[in-house]
Structure 1
C-alpha cells in the first residue's frame, strides 16, 4: 500500500473515535453537573465535597457509557487485526453487526464500558476536587488555568490507573461476536478480568497503560481547562 493510499485507510479507522469525542465529552460534563445538583439536593449539601464529587463522577461515567458504547464497538472491531479485514469502514461494521448479531449487539460490552467510565470519572472528578482544595487559591486567570491543568492532569492519571483493566477487558468483550448457543470467552467485566489474570497474569490487565496514561493524564488537564474556558465564555455572552 502506497503512502497516498494509506492515508484514507488510516482515517477510515479513525472516524469512529473522532465522531465519538464531541458527544462523549459533552455528556461527561453535562451529566456531572446535573448529577451534582441531584446529589447536593438529595444529601442536603450546600456545596460539593470529595465524597459527592466521586459519587457524581461515577454517575456521570455510567451516563456517558450509553453514548460511547456503539462508537467503541465500531472502533474496536476496525482496529483489531483479527477482525479488521472483515469490514470496509464504520457503516459496514454497523450493518454487518446488526445483520449477523441483532440490533442489541451494538451495545455489546455495555457493562464493562460502564465500569470503565464509572471508575475513570470517579477518579477524575474526585481528584480534581481534592487537588484544587490543596492548591493555593488562584488570584489571576493564569493561576486558574494552571490549577486546572494540574488538578485535571492528576485526575486523568488516577482515573487511568484505576480503569485500565476494565478498558482491556471491554475491548475483548466487544471484539467477541455473539454466536447463538455459545457463551463468549469474555462475557462480563469481572469474569473477564479473572480469565485474563489466570491465563496471562495480572500485568496483562495493564497492556497499553503507558501510552494511555501519557495521553489521558495531560489530556485530563487540557480537557478541564478547555471546558472551564468555554463555559466562562458562554456565561459572559449570556450576561451581555
Structure 2
C-alpha cells in the first residue's frame, strides 16, 4: 500500500486486523440497517418493514431498543481481524506475484484492479461463515431462534448441516471481488491524482480521501451482489425444497424480475455511508499501524 520498505506478512496481518476492528466499531449500526433493508422483499408496510434507512433506524430503536443496532456484532468482530488482515495482506502478496509474473517493477492501475480482485476472492473464503451467522442474527424474523453467536452456529450445523456454514460462498466471492477491485483500483488512481503529501497530516488526508473514494466506488459496483448474498444466506435450508435464492447470477435475475432494478440497490445508502468513510478509516488506520511497526523495527 505504500512505497516504503515492505514488512513481513505477520505485520501486514496485524495492521489489517487493527484497521478492521476500528472500522466496524464505528460503523456497525449501518451494517445492521443495510441487512434489514436488503432482506426485505416488496415495499415497507407496517412496523416490521422499512421505507429506507432513516425509517429502519427509527423503528429498530423504537421497537427493539438502541442495543439492537449492535445485535450480532460478536461474529463480525471475530471476523474483522482475519477478514481485513487477509484483505490487505493478500493484496500485497498478490501484488508481488503479479509483478513477478508480468515483469512489472511498480504497480499500475490494471495490476491494482487485478490484485484487489484476487485479494477479494481470497478474503471471501474467510468471511462466509461469519457473514452467515451475522445475517441470521441481524434478521428480526430469525434472531429470536438463537441465543447469541455460539447457539446460532450450533443450530445451523445441527438443523441444516455443516456445509450450510458456507452457503452463499459464490455470491460472497463475487461481492468481494467487485468491491476490492474498485477499492484498491481507485486508491491507486486517486493517490496518483492527488498532490504528493509533504508531511504526516497530508499523508493521512490523502489516505482518507483515496480510501473513501475507493470504498464508495467499490460499494457502487458490488451492492447488487450484496443484496443477493444477504438473501441467499438468510434462506434456511429445507429438506426437499429448492431455495428461491441459490446462485448469485440467477438470484440477480429473480430480484430484477420480481422487484425491479432499484431492488438490486436496496440498502445502498447505509452501505455507502459505512463503506465510503469506512474505506478511508481502514486505509488510514492500516497505514498508521504499518508506520508504527516500521518505526519500531527501525525501517522508517
- TM-score class, shorter: over 0.9
TM-score where L is the length of structure 1: 0.94
Name the counterpart of 1:233: 292
Give every structure 1 segment of 4 or more consecutive aligned residues whose post-TM-superposition deviation is greater than 6 Å: none
Unaligned runs of 5+ in 2: 1-61
Name the counterpart of 1:124: 183
8 A contact 2:71–2:138 mirrored in 1: no
Residue 162 of structure 2 is aligned to residue 71 of structure 1: no
Greater relative CO (CA pairs within 8 A, separation 6+): 2
How do residues 50-199 of structure 1 correspond to structure 2 at under 5 angstroms? Answer: 50-199=109-258
Pair 1:9–1:49, CA change in 2 (3 A): closer
Provide the C-alpha distance between the structure 1 equivalents of 2:162 and 2:214, rounded to a whole number of angstroms.
35
Provide the C-alpha distance between the structure 2 equivalents of 1:7 and 1:92, rounded to a whole number of angstroms.
23
Per the alignment, in what secondary structure is the counterpart of residue 139 of structure 1?
A: coil
Unaligned runs of 5+ in 1: none
8 A contact 1:170–1:189 mirrored in 2: yes
8 A contact 2:197–2:206 mirrored in 1: yes
CA-CA distance at 1:81 after TM superposition: 2.2
8 A contact 1:61–1:120 mirrored in 2: yes
Name the counterpart of 1:206: 265
Higher helix fraction: Structure 1 or Structure 2?
1
Residue 283 of structure 2 is aligned to residue 224 of structure 1: yes
CA-CA distance at 1:7 after TM superposition: 7.0
CA-atom RMSD in angstroms: 1.7
8 A contact 1:12–1:90 mirrored in 2: no
Provide the C-alpha distance between the structure 1 equivalents of 2:104 and 2:224, rounded to a whole number of angstroms.
34
8 A contact 1:27–1:64 mirrored in 2: yes
